[in-house]
Amino acid sequence: MDEGAAASEHDEDVSHRQPEPEATSAGQAEVSNYEIVSHWFDQAAERLDLRDDLAAVLRSSYREVQVQIPVKQSDGRMHVYHGYRVQHNGARGPYKGGIRFHPDVDLDEVRALAELMTWKTAIAEIPFGGAKGGVNVDPAKLEPSELQNVARSFMDKVDKVLGPQRDIPAPDVGTNAQTMAWLMDEYGKLHGHTPACVTGKPLALEGSRGREAATGRGVVCMFSEAAPERGLDPSDCDFVVQGFGNVGSWIARILCERGARLIGCSDASGAIRSPKGIDVEALVGHVSENGALEGFDKHSETCSPDELLGIECDVLFPAALGGMIHRGNADTLRCKVLVEGANSPTTPNADEILTANGVHVVPDVMANAGGVIVSYFEWVQNLQHFRWEEDAVNHQLETIMRRAYREVSGKAHANGTPLRLAAYQLGIERVLDAARTRGYVS
């Protein structure tokens, strides 16, 4: 996709937008995550006046591994899944990034998410490069034992490019602490007990206190930094969450604890709304019992996913999949601030519409870095065989998130650009500096 090379996309007349295909039935735009990340990289590279040869090095992946994952199912038949690990750039440290289990996973998506991790770790200034992995499996359709076989078989095929000083996976969509435990155990069979080989592990297996809530906590921290710019008080605001998984449910729990009201929420099974506020703890209990939000009716009513996005609120948190806010629905949003918990939830055309409508967008590449920041703490703890208290984890997390917001925001103000462009510029500058200092590029 070439959405137009306009350098100042936020002041471009919206009528000049490039055509973007209609949304799919799942509500996602038919614009790939890779096209979204490439668009922002190109815009930032142009602003930085980056040489073409350097842009070519920074844009492409260092290594892309695709493997076959044959797994015997409980009906006795073999099923072949496809697994991917993409290492985008390791100039700043070992590769780091989650593993996604989702039927739509493909190389293009994993490549995009790996590149996003490179800029994210650089913006947060933690000593990692960027990577991502995935398997095109639908975890909801498998028994736990079958899922365990998929995780172990994936590790068997990619272990040689992983390791605590090479590349350290973590959870993402469709994977969780249990998946990380299986991956760590399988890696241990091949290389000896190595807890630092994955992060996001259960507490019983040297996971870090605070890791499960970290991405949501970081998103809330970013909102707390952005809120005063729009005259908002995070402890007294109305918010909507799209996607009630790990990230979305923790955003909701933490903000409600602080006094805010969750007035709309969705997951893959449907959406609900309540102007007086949804009982978040009851909803968390319902989802953990039933596996989905569907059927929850305590002081709330169902609505369509499109209606959910149109709810008037102070802040909207997309926390589901990429491309969910696109040209076809961006104009219906009625929020003052949008903080991206998900990766690439907003297409470039949608971003332009939101900016024109005065919505303050805090982009994924800075907003959802909390998970990888606490993964960094987990890795440090594993290497030291020492455990931090949760207060220390949360305090350090918030210090890093606040610093990142202020650095990006300072750059955005100085250059007169939106946060996203400033964030990409900062990330690219830091990676380029490391690559040059190593002598990898000149």
Footprint of ligand NAD (CB under 6 A)? 26-27, 171-174, 215, 242-248, 266-268, 305, 319-321, 341-343, 368, 371
Q: State in angstroms the smallest separation of the CB of 98 from ligand NAD.
A: 6
CA nearest neighbour of 405 among 375, 376, 367: 367
Reduced to 3 states (helix: H, G, I; strand: E, B; else coil), residue 272 is strand
CA nearest neighbour of 208 among 386, 398, 400, 401: 386
Q: State in angstroms the smallest separation of the CB of 72 from ligand NAD.
A: 25
* Number of Cβ atoms within 10 Å of the Cβ of 54: 17
Q: Please give the residue whose beta carbon sits closest to ligand NAD in the complex.
A: 245
Cα gap 205→196, rounded to integer Å: 10
Q: State in angstroms the smallest separation of the CB of 219 from ligand NAD.
A: 9
Cβ proximity to ligand NAD, 121 vs 246, nearer residue? 246
Cβ proximity to ligand NAD, 50 vs 303, nearer residue? 303
Cβ proximity to ligand NAD, 240 vs 435, nearer residue? 240
Q: State in angstroms the smallest separation of the CB of 251 from ligand NAD.
A: 9
Cβ proximity to ligand NAD, 342 vs 393, nearer residue? 342
CB 378 within 8 Å of CB 212: no
Q: State in angstroms the smallest separation of the CB of 117 from ligand NAD.
A: 9
Distance of CA 265 to the CA centre of its chain: 18
CB 183 within 8 Å of CB 151: yes
Cα gap 328→203, rounded to integer Å: 43
Half-sphere exposure of 397 (CA within 13 A, CB side): 34
Cβ proximity to ligand NAD, 195 vs 341, nearer residue? 341
Distance of CA 120 to the CA centre of its chain: 10
Cβ proximity to ligand NAD, 268 vs 380, nearer residue? 268
Helix, strand, coil percentages (3-state) for the chain, rounded to 5, are: 50, 20, 35
Residue 201 known to be catalytic:
no
Q: Which two tokens stand for residue 148?
A: 């365990």
Q: Kindly name the residue from 96, 132, 201, 336 that is annotated as catalytic.
A: 132
Cα gap 399→59, rounded to integer Å: 30
Please report which residue ranges of 129-227 form alpha helices under DSSP H: 144-158, 177-191, 211-226
Cα gap 372→60, rounded to integer Å: 22
Reduced to 3 states (helix: H, G, I; strand: E, B; else coil), residue 144 is helix
Q: State in angstroms the smallest separation of the CB of 87 from ligand NAD.
A: 17
Give the residue numbers annotated as catalytic, written as ranges: 132
